[in-house]
Amino acid sequence: MSNDNPQRPGPPYDESASNASGEDPRETDTSPQERATTLNWDENVPSPTETSGENSGLFDDLLSGAAIFDRKEVLRPSFTPNNLPHRESQINEMATILVSALRGDTPSNILVYGKTGTGKTASAKFVSQELESTSDSYEVPCDVEYINCEVTDTKYRVLAQLANTFIDDNRRRANEELDEIAAELEALSDGTPEAATLRERKATLEEYLETEDGVPMTGWPTDRVYNEFFEAVDFYQRVVVIMVDEIDKLVEKSGDDTLYNLSRMNSDLENSRVSLIGISNDLKFTDFLDPRVKSSLGEEEIVFPPYDANQIQDILDQRADTAFEDDVLGDGVIPLCAAFAAQEHGDARRALDLLRTAGELVERSEAGTIETSHVRQAQERIELDRIVEAIQTLPTQSKLILLAIIKLHQNGETDVNTGEVFNVYKRLCDRVGADKLTQRRVTDLISELDMLGIVNAVVVSKGRYGRSKEISLSVPAEKSREVVTRDAWFDEDDLSPAE
Ligand SMILES: Nc1ncnc2c1ncn2[C@@H]1O[C@H](COP(=O)(O)OP(=O)(O)OP(=O)(O)O)[C@@H](O)[C@H]1O
Ligand SMILES: [Mg+2]
């Protein structure tokens, strides 16, 4: 099997390296659970359901091992630390721009970009928490709204979510204001002009509360949703910072209309001001923006460079202190996690995943301390998960092509050409009753599998016969086959060895 993709360090694709059968290491290690059940049931001890009162020690065995984690959640991606080493300058830059919100001015829009796992979301959330908490003590309220466009990915949903957030906030504030008005009215005599003004305000607020029910999550014309949002923002005086994370996903899915509207709102707002922070790990999306949106969004740009291994080590050291029990981390564990993650374009998320997964492996194996071997196992496991995910989400035709390559591989043919793949693919299509694509289209889909790192396709010269592609599998054959054939339309018969 070839494994010459320079971006992929280590042996994860070499099945023989992890274990002889090529199985997932998780399945071959005897887990404490298995050991516990084997012991009890083989020795004819009543099974857990038969015992009354006394337990069979299933969980006691597991709990008797030394604890590894003290606060595991600290290693999860959702955790936002309040100290972000090596991001001081980016955080300060953001704060310097946003501080004008506290003075009641409109901050410039900001475009934040950098590769995945470089701390963009964590830093932006940290700054927004600080900004909101500081703004409580200032005259003009500043609201920060965070939207993740990976989740909220259409124009309608973005606007509806924003509108509803501000409507909820207005309703809360209107209720508070009504209480204040009631108290003030009690202290005033009826005929005064102040009382008349207060009563007028009271009527406006009551009407708002009665009529404003929010935006449904589907069904309205988008213009109407935008108008609701606009009215809601302007109902009270405020500076609003809208943080649009994964902004490229929004543009990819529904164009730049929303950003166009948001970036031009200030000229029409009477009481409020809006500023935008766009966050992305893919700058290409700016090519698809209307030039006006592009220049408005990029008034300020902040770059998050990848971390190097030393920086990742600092990040891990800090998190490990709180995440683990004392004395469970072996020498070299954090440096190795940092080294692996630095190879993955300086991705702190990958480093934290590795450290957490290594800890989990030890937790299950009762080894007591985390060693570098566990980090290597964790690296293999994360790679495998990534492959499974990539294969699972392939379209059916690509799965059939991949299955053809797997079958050839399992027949001992490791460097095959497109024609050979095409022949096996056609037979598979007949067997499962799928439409057959042309050889040209199959060639394109093989290139896509190559880009995903699932196969390796190199063009070789055949002298006067021209050039041809040599295709080999870059992923573990058996595991990949199992994932491909999970699709409902694969019959058991198709699992028979390649013809
Ligand atoms: N300087 C840092 N200090 C501590 N933890 C960090 C730092 N940078 C990143 N992290 C952690 O690494 C993980 C990934 O960071 P984050 O989610 O901010 O990356 P990102 O740049 O937004 O990536 P993506 O582009 O994939 O969204 C998070 O768990 C975050 O807490
Ligand atoms: Mg992010």
Q: Is the pLDDT of residue 437 over 90?
A: yes
Q: Could you tell me the distance, in angstroms and rounded to a whole number, from the CA of residue 384 to the centre of ligand 2?
A: 23
- Cβ of 120 less than 6 Å from ligand 1: yes
> Do the domain assignments include residue 111?
yes
Same domain membership, residue 300 and residue 156: yes
Residue 39 has pLDDT above 80, yes or no: no
The answer to the question of residue 380 being in a domain is no
The last residue of a domain, from among 275, 304, 333: 304
- Tell me whether residue 64 is in a domain: no
Overall size of the chain counted in residues: 499
Q: Which ligand is located closest to the Cα atom of residue 119?
A: 1
Distance 295 CA to ligand 2 centre (A): 22
Q: How much of the chain exceeds pLDDT 90, in percent?
A: 66
What CA–CA distance (Å, rounded) separates 358 from 356? 5
- CA 88 to ligand 2 centroid distance, Å: 17
Contact 402, 486 (CB under 8 A): no
Query: What is the rounded distance in angstroms from the CA atom of residue 419 to the CA atom of residue 65?
Result: 56
Query: 120 CA to middle of ligand 2, Å?
Result: 6
Regarding whether 398 and 300 lie in a shared domain, the answer is no
pLDDT digits (tens, 9 = 90+) for 289-322: 999 999 999 999 999 999 999 999 999 999 999 9
Q: Per-residue b/e over 182-201, b at no fewer than 16 CB within 10 Å?
A: eeeeeeeeeeeeebeebeee
Q: How many CA atoms lie within 13 A of 195 on its CB side?
A: 9
Distance 345 CA to ligand 1 centre (A): 13
Asked if pLDDT for residue 42 goes beyond 80, the answer is no
Spacing, Cα 279 to ligand 2 middle (Å): 7
Q: Give the model's confidence band at 462: pLDDT under 50 very low, under 70 low, under 90 confident, else very high.
A: confident
CB-ligand 1 contact for 315 (6 Å cutoff): yes
C-alpha span between 1 and 455 (Å, rounded): 10
The whole-number pLDDT of residue 136 equals: 80
Tell me if 261 is assigned to some domain: yes
- Section 171-198 average pLDDT: 92
Position 29 confidence tier, pLDDT thresholds 50, 70, 90: very low
What 3 state SS string does the chain have?
CCCCCCCCCCCCCCHHHHCCCCCCHHHHCCCHHHHHHHHHHHCCCCCCCCCCCCCCCHHHHHHHCCCCECCHHHHCCCCCCCCCCCCHHHHHHHHHHHHHHHCCCCCCCEEEEECCCCCHHHHHHHHHHHHHHHHCCCCCCEEEEEEECCCCCCHHHHHHHHHHHHHHHHHHHHHHHHHHHHHHHHHCCCCCHHHHHHHHHHHHHHHHHHHCCCCCCCCCCHHHHHHHHHHHHHHCCCEEEEEEECHHHHHHHHCCHHHHHHHHHHHCCCCCEEEEEEEECCHHHHHHCCHHHHHHHCCEEEEECCCCHHHHHHHHHHHHHHHECCCCECCCHHHHHHHHHHHCCCCHHHHHHHHHHHHHHHHHHCCCCECHHHHHHHHHHHHHHHHHHHHHCCCHHHHHHHHHHHHHHHCCCCCECHHHHHHHHHHHHHHHCCCCCCHHHHHHHHHHHHHCCCEEEEEEECHHHCEEEEEEECCCHHHHHHHHCCCCCCCHHHHCCCC
Please tell me the total count of domains within the chain: 2
Q: Kindly tell me if the per-residue pLDDT of 86 is higher than 90.
A: yes
Residue 324 phi/psi, 5-degree rounding, is -105, 155
148 lines ligand 1 (CB under 6 A): no
pLDDT band at 11 (very low <50, low <70, confident <90, very high): very low
Cα dihedral: 490, 3, 438, 462 (round 10): -140
Locate the ligand 1 atom nearest the alpha carbon of residue 124 and give its number.
18
Q: 304, 322, 338 — which closes off a domain?
A: 304
**Averaged pLDDT for residues 158-172:** 96
| Shared-domain flag, residues 182 and 298 | yes
Examine residue 419 and state whether it is found in any structural domain, yes or no. yes
469 vs 276, residue with greater confidence = 276
Q: Which two tokens stand for residue 487?
A: 């699709």
Q: Can you give the pLDDT at residue 363?
A: 87
Question: What pLDDT does 58 receive?
Answer: 64
* Residue 32 scores a pLDDT above 70: no
Across 474-488, average pLDDT: 88
Nearest to 141 by CA among 163, 180, 170, 183: 170
Q: Is 119 in the pocket of ligand 1 (CB under 6 A)?
A: yes
Q: Which residues pair with 112 in a beta bridge?
A: 279, 302
Distance 495 CA to ligand 1 centre (A): 42
**What are the tens digits of pLDDT across the range 212-253?**
999 999 999 999 999 999 999 999 999 999 999 999 999 999
- Residue located nearest, by CA, to atom 9 of ligand 1: 119
User: Looking at the domain assignment, is residue 423 inside a domain?
Assistant: yes
Q: Which atom of ligand 1 is nearest to the CA of 80?
A: 31
**From atom 2 of ligand 1, which residue's Cα is the shortest distance away?**
84
Q: Which ligand is nearest to the Cα of residue 245, counting in written order? A: 2
Domain boundary among 304, 323, 342: 304
**380/492 Cα distance (integer angstroms):** 29
Same domain, 298 and 413: no
In whole angstroms, give the CA distance from residue 294 to residue 288: 9
Same domain, 295 and 398: no
pLDDT at 498: 42
Q: What are phi and psi of 26, to 5 degrees?
A: -60, -35
Question: Do 99 and 231 fall within a single domain?
Answer: yes
> How crowded is the C-beta side of 470, counted as CA atoms within 13 Å?
10
Find the domain containing 471 and state its range.
394-495
Q: Is 281 in the pocket of ligand 1 (CB under 6 A)?
A: yes
Q: Does residue 111 have a pLDDT over 50?
A: yes
Q: How far is the CA of 455 from the centre of ligand 2 (A)?
A: 29
Residue type, 2: S
Q: Is the CB of 249 under 6 A from ligand 1?
A: no
**Are 278 and 415 found together in one domain?**
no
In short, whether 481's Cβ falls inside 6 Å of ligand 1 is no
When pLDDT is cut at 50, 70 and 90, the band that residue 463 belongs to is confident
Mean pLDDT of all residues belonging to the chain: 85
Confidence bin at 108 (pLDDT 50/70/90): very high
Ligand lying nearest the CA atom of residue 347: 1
On the CB side of 147, CA atoms within 13 Å amount to 31
Q: Which atom of ligand 1 is nearest to the CA of 114?
A: 21
Assess if residue 238 is contained within a domain.
yes
Question: Domain of 122: which CATH number?
Answer: 3.40.50.300
What average pLDDT does range 129-136 have in this prediction? 88
Say which ligand is closest to the CA of 117.
1
Three-point CA angle 277, 281, 287, nearest 5°: 80
Task: Identify whether 275 is part of a domain.
Answer: yes
Low-confidence winner among 31-35, 197-201, 393-397 (lowest mean pLDDT): 31-35
Residue nearest to atom 6 of ligand 1 (CA): 119
Ligand 1 centre from 78 Cα, in Å? 9
State if pTM tops 0.85. no
Ligand 1 mutation target, pool 72, 91, 121, most atoms within 8 A of CB:
121
pLDDT at residue 342 tops 90: yes
Of 70-74, 98-102, 105-109, 488-492, least confident by mean pLDDT is 488-492
My answer on whether 114 and 213 are in the same domain is yes
**Which percentage of the chain shows pLDDT scores above 70?**
85
299 and 201, same domain (yes or no): yes
Residue 440 maps to which CATH number?
1.10.10.10
Residue 6 has what pLDDT? 38
